[in-house]
A and B are shown apart, each in its own frame.
Chain A
């Protein structure tokens, strides 16, 4: 069942001055439960594509359908709500609220969703255990390593029970071990919680473990490879 569909997605930055064609007629379909990585050289449009799918930016032309809803038509306020309900985000840096503990960071998103207190507490604990941070629940971001912070971000992204998770280079600032560890967790969550992951990466070891690899070059989908 398709969860994300883009049709002829095109993005041109600075169309009036120095036009940059970041995306050219990108049409892809991503099904529920996929573990998809978007790869390509720097400047090939990976971030742009993820931003379009996440409703963080508007395309120049083309559409993005999430669960059949045309995201490009939504207004700012609807988009924020849409993201809260449907999408979990993991960014490369600066994912967490610095003054909140791991536990609070994870709960916060459920609070925004007005989830029940008890459920909130239970799920937070569950998720932090699942990403291997059972002992750091009360630590603040600056007391954690980069890898640990990214794991909290993944837990946070999962906490809202989103339709899919978008992660833009989640491992880029991590060393190999932390990167592999994060990827293991993401894979396991993909299995256990049936959450769809769409993430971009440069990292060959990460790419090797993805089950679908979409390769972008100059804003065009150059290859789309499914593995088993």
Chain B
């Protein structure tokens, strides 16, 4: 075995320049693929993080009837015990944020608009997301205030500003009428466009009072420390609430369209990566081809003296394996180094301004998820192995006499 390894190792350094060039091509492919994936995944993850934190949360605990009929009648009572149960379900849970959400009419003296009323616990909400940074005017309300924060879209449609009064009209739990006057303490530019034309934020307590839903929530938002733990945390919570009327949904279940959109976003880079791999695959095949052809006589000699085809194939396979391993591993290491040094990429110019307008930091975060390093490495490796089928087939079909006459 050692001898075979020695043979393979020395064979790959017979033409050091060729091996180095082949390795560099592989390194290049791996670095490019990983960098592309890393930037994509990084922004993908950041985007999910934003979308999710401003809308549904990673996970939601709801009454099981709420999914089919999103009415206040299907809100669920919340108490300290339930909160404790959630918190202790999984140690990876970072935020637990209450929401009471319903559809209402928002009006001034003249106009009426449809609105989504969001009763929020300001402290918890602010720890959970950066909505506070999106205030364009005024301030957020105090927990018991009879006040609202209006989104820009809605405020301009209703022509209301800070200090003005908003009229809300609708229905509370079990058909109780719900209407009231609320002072506008602030305006905000909601990062999610549809929300910006509809959302009205109100202190949770005030909303519960308005809607006759004391101690009730329509949803409890739960978020793990890391997005990728969503499913596992969901499973833990499901276990805890298995026998109750409460059910857990994950963000892809709550916003399937968001997931589709992102998959679409990732399709382009995936395609480019695939092309990159094919190009590299052919490059590698070229090397393997010349390597095989110039050694036909040697193969013939080895078969003549009694080396079995299987062993010979083993050695040649080991050679391509070693070259691709060398390329792939150094590619992974180099990619890691480059990404570490570059992360996060600070944007400038229009892209940066656009992001800052939305209230985000102008950076391209990167993902360092191990699996993507491994996957890209594996793809390249797989291509290399595919290319190495050529010498294997050649050896199995080699006619010894023809080989020695070459």
Contact = CB atoms under 8 A, between A and B. Distances in A.
Q: Which of A76, A77, A109 has the most chain B CB within a 10 Å cutoff?
A: A76
Contact of A94 (B6, B297, B303, B401): B297
B308 interface: yes
Given A94-B297, A112-B311, A99 B304 contact: no
B306 A84 contact: yes
B307 A80 contact: yes
A97 B306 contact: no
A196 B146 CA distance: 111
A109 B303 CA distance: 11
Contact of B3 (A54, A84, A88, A108): A108
B3 A83 contact: no
B267 interface: no
A36 interface: no
Contacts of A109: 305-306
A89 B14 contact: no
A94 B305 CA distance: 12
B306 A99 contact: no
Contacts of A97: 7, 298, 302
B82 interface: no
A166 B344 CA distance: 69
Interface in B278-304: 297-298, 301-304
Interface size, A (range):
20 to 34
Nearest to A166: B304
A61 to B, nearest CB: 18
A111 interface: yes
Contacts of A54: 304
A56 interface: yes
A83 B305 contact: yes
A80 B303 contact: yes
A160 interface: yes
A99 B14 contact: yes
Contacts, number: 61
Given A57-B401, A99-B10, A94 B306 contact: no
A178 B306 CA distance: 27
Contacts of A89: 304-305
Q: Determine which residue in B297, B311, B404 has the highest number of CB atoms from chain A within 10 A of its CB, and name it.
A: B404
A78 to B, nearest CB: 11
Contacts of A100: 7, 10
A32 interface: no
B305 A84 contact: yes
Most buried by A among B305, B307, B400: B305
A94 B301 contact: yes
A165 to B, nearest CB: 11
Interface in B354-380: none
A142 B270 CA distance: 48
Interface in A35-92: 51, 54, 56-57, 76-77, 80-81, 83-85, 87-89, 91
Given A51-B401, A56-B304, A88-B305, 7 more contacts: A54-B304, A56-B401, A77-B309, A80-B307, A80-B308, A100-B10, A104-B6
Interface of A: 51, 54, 56-57, 76-77, 80-81, 83-85, 87-89, 91, 94-95, 97-100, 104, 107-109, 111-113, 156, 160
The 7 A-B pairs with the shortest beta carbon distances in the complex, nearest first, are: A84-B306, A99-B10, A83-B306, A111-B3, A89-B305, A94-B297, A80-B308
